[in-house]
Amino acid sequence: MDKYPFLKKAGSLFKDCHVTKVGDLTKTWTGQTIKGPALIGAPLSKSSISHSGACFAPGSIRQALGGISAYSAELREHVTDHLYDLGDIDIHVTDIVKSHEHIYHTIHGLLTDQPDWVPFVLGGDNSISYSTVKAIAQTKGTTAVFQFDAHHDVRNTEDGGPTNGTPFRRLLDEKVINGQNLIQLGIREFSNSFAYEEYVKSHQADVHTMEMIREKGLVQTIQEVLPAVKKRADSIFISVDMDVLDQAHAPGCPAIGPGGLYTEELLQAVRFLAQEAHIAGIEIVEVDPTLDFRDMTSRAAAHVILHALKGIKLSH
C-alpha cells in the first residue's frame, strides 16, 4: 500500500517515534521461558455478591496499560524491556467452583513449569484470590499476603457459597495461609461486621484500619511489619482490591466508599513491597469497567502494575 502513505489500519492511534508505550513492549506469550513479571487474566465476576462487570477488567486494564509510557523519569529508563501476556484463563459459563479450579490449576501448572515467573494477575472479582494465593502457596512455600482492601473478605460460605466476600476465610479455614501471614491494609469504617472482625482476630491476622494508617502512614506501617513477616514466610504475594481506594479515586468498583486510600499512597506501598527479593506476584481485583468514569479505575490499576514493575526493577 505504498501508493497510499496516509492510509492506516483502522483504529490506529497517534504514534510519537520518541515515546515507547507499554503496549509496544508487550508480547503474546508463545511458550518461551519466563523470567520475571508477565500478565495473565482471570475474568471472573459471576461470584460477586453485587452487580459486577469485573469480567471485563482484564481487557480494560490492558488497554489502559498499553497506552501509558513505559519510561520512568525517576529511574531514567523503561520499567521493563518486554512484558509477556499469557492471555486469559477460561472461565466456566455457570460453575463458579469450576472457574476457581481453572484459575488454580492454570497458575499452579504454569508456576511449576515456569518457576521464575512472577504472575501479574488481572481479575476478576475478589473470589479469584482463593485460587491465586493457593497456587502461590503450594509452589512458593510459606506465603504472606499483603491484602489491600476495604473489607476483611472472610464472609461465611453457608449464606452464598464461594463469593467475592469469602476468599480469605477459605484460605484460613483450609490452612493454605497462616493468620499471622495475612496483613490486611486499609480496612474501612462501616464496611465490615463484628463477627468478621472477631474471626480475623481469632486467626491472629494483622489488621490495619484506615484510622491506623492515617495515624502512622501506609509505607511506615509496612516497614514495621515486614521484618517479622520475612522471618516467617518464604514468599510475599500482593493482593490489591481496588476498592481500598477512596471512591473519588476509584469510581469503577462495585463497593466504593469514602475514607479510603489515596492513589499515590497505594502506588508507593506497592512499589515498596515489590522491591522485596521474595515477591511472588500481584493480583488486581474488583475493577468494574461498566461502572467506571473515563476509565479512572482501570488507569489506576494500570499504574499499580507499573509501580510494581518499577519496584522489581529497583530491586535488581
In tens, the pLDDT along 165-191 reads 999 999 999 999 999 999 999 999 999
Relative to beta strand 279-285, strand 117-123 is: parallel
Q: What is the pTM of this model?
A: 0.97
Give the Cα separation of 307 and 242 in Å (integer): 15
- Domains belonging to the chain, first-starting first, are 29-315 (3.40.800.10)
Q: Does position 1 have pLDDT exceeding 60, yes or no?
A: no
Average pLDDT over residues 189-209: 98
pLDDT in tens, 232-261: 999 999 999 999 999 999 999 999 999 999
237, 133 Cβ separation under 8 angstroms: yes
Average pLDDT over residues 280-291: 98
- List Cβ neighbours of 144 (8 Å cut-off, separation of 6 or more): 177, 181, 182, 183, 229, 232, 233, 235, 236, 237
Give the Cα separation of 257 and 265 in Å (integer): 17
Give the Cα separation of 223 and 218 in Å (integer): 9
Give the Cα separation of 182 and 201 in Å (integer): 11
| Chain mean pLDDT for the chain | 97
